[in-house]
Amino acid sequence: MIVTAHRSLLLAAVALTLVLGGCASPADRAAMTPQNLTVSKHHPYSLRVQTGGGAETGTMDSSNISNADLKAAIEDAVVRSKLFTSIVQGSNGDYELSVRLTSLSKPTFGGTFTVDMETAWSLTKTSDHSVALRKSVKTSGTATMSDAFAGVTRLRMAVEAATRNNIEQGLKAVAELNL
Amino acid sequence: MKRLLKLAALLGLVTVLTTGCAVNRATANVDPSANLSSLKTMYVKRIADDDNTYNLIADKLRSKGVTVSTGTEAAPSGVDAVVTYIDKWMWDMTMYMLELTVNIRDPKTDFPLATGNSFHTSLTRLSPTEMVNEVVDNIYKDAK
């Protein structure tokens, strides 16, 4: 009888925990897109974007960045800032931008979460495969208890902030090139 | 009732302070413009307080036919690539390697030419040697 009562209490408490926090959700593509990015140059070419190194967020995982969402966030930022004339899919763009997520360091415990991120940006001219840019971009993002109470949400916000900063820095580096 | 409240408070605290649950992941990617087979000499840059992970990485790369040196100083001139890594450890009954990220970089620009990452939580933990093997094998599997 006592064992059954304890088991019920435990189940209720676990259920409460899941309702309060649940598991992680992936970084949101809109939240990863820099909103007011201004660039020094506008390149009169079309661009193809490809991404790698990202991961889906499993139900038992912490927040990750999927390749598709990273690609969409970069493409959206390029379109908003008019950095290139157009975005193309497939292999017929004037330039190809490859962005690979090479490191995403996430805390597992704490109040204020800081996420460190590194990406490898390379820009290649499609016609002759010449490399116009090869750059490592390192950024971080922080979320505090005032941003979100639940740890999983706070971590997602920190990941999104790090990605937003990263895309901004990467595109600014591309904007400085003379293509 | 008191016990339930205590337990709920404890689990609530866990919810607030922690970030996720259990997962296994192993990924690798190589820059489209990189050619790993041309990298014959590498320098594994040892993290100062690392006991052995750098040795495991060096040995694994040697098994791929690469000439490898290690150290905590800046890379010597003339190496084709510098290898950096981040190993994250966790305690659950014993210490285990939770996550390993290995980057193979251009020695002149620090640009990551290739990257591998493995993440295994406690129940499916791998030994450090297995983690290193998995990461390095995945990098070379993804190469041209």
B23-52 pLDDT, tens digit per residue, is 688 989 999 888 999 999 999 999 999 999
- Using pLDDT thresholds of 50, 70 and 90, give the confidence band for residue B1: low
Per-residue buried b or exposed e for B23-41, using 16+ beta carbons within 10 Å of the residue's own CB: beebbbbbbebbebeebee
> Token digits for B62?
């040697």
Mutate to test the interface with B, among A134, A144, A159 (most CBs of B within 10 A): A134
Q: For position A106, what pLDDT does the model report?
A: 85
Mean residue pLDDT across chain A: 86
> Token digits for B117?
């990452």
B44-76 pLDDT, tens digit per residue, is 999 999 999 999 999 999 999 999 999 999 999
For chain A, the domains span 2-175
For chain B, what is the domain count? 1
- The reply to whether B16 falls in a domain is no
pTM across the whole model? 0.80
- Using pLDDT thresholds of 50, 70 and 90, give the confidence band for residue A16: very low
Give the residue on B whose Cα is nearest the Cα of A102: B115
In chain B, residues with a C-beta closer than 8 Å to the C-beta of A107 are 19
In chain A, residues with a C-beta closer than 8 Å to the C-beta of B111 are 120, 122, 134-136
A141-175 pLDDT, tens digit per residue, is 999 988 888 888 899 999 999 999 999 999 999 99
B81-101 pLDDT, tens digit per residue, is 999 999 999 998 999 999 999
- The reply to whether B4 falls in a domain is no
Domain residues for B130?
36-142
CA dihedral B96, B101, B106, B111 (to 10 degrees): -140
- CATH architecture for segment(s) A2-175: 2-Layer Sandwich (3.30)
> Among partner residues B4, B8, B27, which is closest to A55 by beta-carbon distance?
B27
Strand order of the sheet with strand A43-52?
Answer: A84-87, A43-52, A95-105, A113-125, A131-143
CATH number of the domain where residue B89 is located? 3.40.50.10150
Q: B103–A103: do the CB atoms touch at under 8 Å?
A: yes
SS (H, E, C) A123-162: EEECCCCCEEEEEEEEEEEEECCCCCCCHHHHHHHHHHHH
Is the pLDDT reported for residue A84 higher than 80? yes
